[in-house]
């Protein structure tokens, strides 16, 4: 199993540009999440999905969009990049069957908006 | 939004020493998780706790689910250089998403 994979690993955007951060998992997990990590801060939840076709906002959703057309993929879209979106983005997945809900994380995408 | 507090914020220890860190919340949780993050990598799950008072070990790591359900503790015994990293706690209650702490940065001096 590859676990949770994310692409790209690094990206520099200009203000106003758009991009999609890719996330895929091969563990057949029903739940998937997008977090951002700012220096010295805990992970902040952007969006999450409890299954294909279902998404919901987290704590900091403004400026982002997501879709979940398959169980495996959960891309994060930035439409008009702003400097405040400079951060490290982590995708995670979990399988909530049996009451266990440990989240497994991808390696992250480091995004800089100039 | 809800936040967790972790202490200490950072610590420097000698190789071979034991380490203790904790995580506190203003709300009660039914699940606590402890993660470690190496530079340039995603967090990796170390220990999961599901019951108040529970004490769980993973090698040299031991974590406890506080009896008040508002805190959790992580201990590392006989530290080694590869223990260096940032340790995050995360907690949640039924039907809610996880909340993450800001992390404890651990440095191990040879």
In this complex, the residue of B48, B100, B101 whose CB is nearest that of residue A102 is: B48
At A2-59, the pLDDT tens digits run: 899 999 999 999 999 999 999 999 999 999 999 999 987 889 999 999 999 999 999 9
Per-residue confidence of chain B (110 residues) as pLDDT tens digits?
667 999 999 999 999 999 999 999 999 999 999 999 998 889 999 999 999 999 999 999 999 999 999 999 999 999 999 999 999 999 998 888 889 999 999 999 88
- Establish if A96 touches chain B: CB-CB under 8 angstroms: no
Nearest CA in chain B to A37: B102
* Residues pairing with B44 in the sheet: B36
Cβ burial, residue B102 (10 Å; 0-12/13-18/19+) = buried
Q: Report the relative pairing of strands B10-14 and B104-109 from DSSP bridges.
A: parallel
In this complex, the residue of B45, B97, B101 whose CB is nearest that of residue A58 is: B97
Q: Quote the CA–CA distance of B57 and B86 in Å, as a whole number.
A: 19
Q: Which tokens go with B110?
A: 């040879």
At A68-109, the pLDDT tens digits run: 999 999 999 999 999 999 999 999 999 876 556 788 999 999
Beta-carbon contacts of residue B61 (< 8 Å; ≥ 6 apart): B34, B46, B47, B74, B75, B76, B77
pLDDT at res. B40:
86
Residue A1 has pLDDT above 80, yes or no: no
Cβ burial, residue B35 (10 Å; 0-12/13-18/19+) = buried
In this complex, the residue of A58, A101, A107 whose CB is nearest that of residue B42 is: A107
Q: Quote the CA–CA distance of A73 and A34 in Å, as a whole number.
A: 12
Q: How far is B18 from chain A (nearest CA, A)?
A: 24
pLDDT at res. B42:
92
For chain B, the average pLDDT equals 93
Residue with tokens 């949780």: B29
Q: Report the relative pairing of strands A87-94 and A76-78 from DSSP bridges.
A: unpaired
Interface test with B, best of A47, A96, A102 (most B CBs within 10 A): A102
pLDDT at res. A72:
97
At B45-56, the pLDDT tens digits run: 999 999 999 999
pLDDT at res. A100:
63
Residues in B closer than 8 angstroms to A35, CB to CB, are 100
Which run of H or of E encompasses B75?
strand B71-76
For chain A, the average pLDDT equals 93
Q: What does DSSP assign to residue B52?
A: T
């Amino acid at each position: 199993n590859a676990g949770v994979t994310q692409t790209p690993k690094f990206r520099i955007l200009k203000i106003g540009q758009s991009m999609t951060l890719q996330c895929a998992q091969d563990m057949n997990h029903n739940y998937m999440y997008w977090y951002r990590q700012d220096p010295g801060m805990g992970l902040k939840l952007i969006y999450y999905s409890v299954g294909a076709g279902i998404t919901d906002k987290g704590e900091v959703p403004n400026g982002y969009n997501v879709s979940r057309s398959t169980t495996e993929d959960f891309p994060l879209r930035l439409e008009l990049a702003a400097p405040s979106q400079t951060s490290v983005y982590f995708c995670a997945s979990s399988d909530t069957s049996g009451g266990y809900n440990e989240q497994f994380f991808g390696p992250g995408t480091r995004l800089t908006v100039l | 939004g809800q936040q967790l507090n972790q202490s200490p914020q950072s610590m420097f220890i000698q190789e071979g020493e034991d380490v203790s860190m904790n995580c506190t919340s203003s709300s009660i949780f039914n699940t606590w998780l402890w993660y470690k993050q190496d530079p340039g990598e995603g967090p990796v799950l170390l220990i999961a706790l599901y019951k108040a008072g529970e004490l769980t070990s993973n090698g040299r790591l031991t974590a406890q689910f506080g009896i008040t359900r508002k805190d959790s503790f992580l201990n590392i015994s006989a530290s080694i250089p590869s223990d260096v990293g940032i340790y995050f706690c995360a907690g949640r209650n039924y039907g809610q998403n996880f909340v993450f702490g800001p992390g404890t940065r651990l440095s191990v001096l040879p």
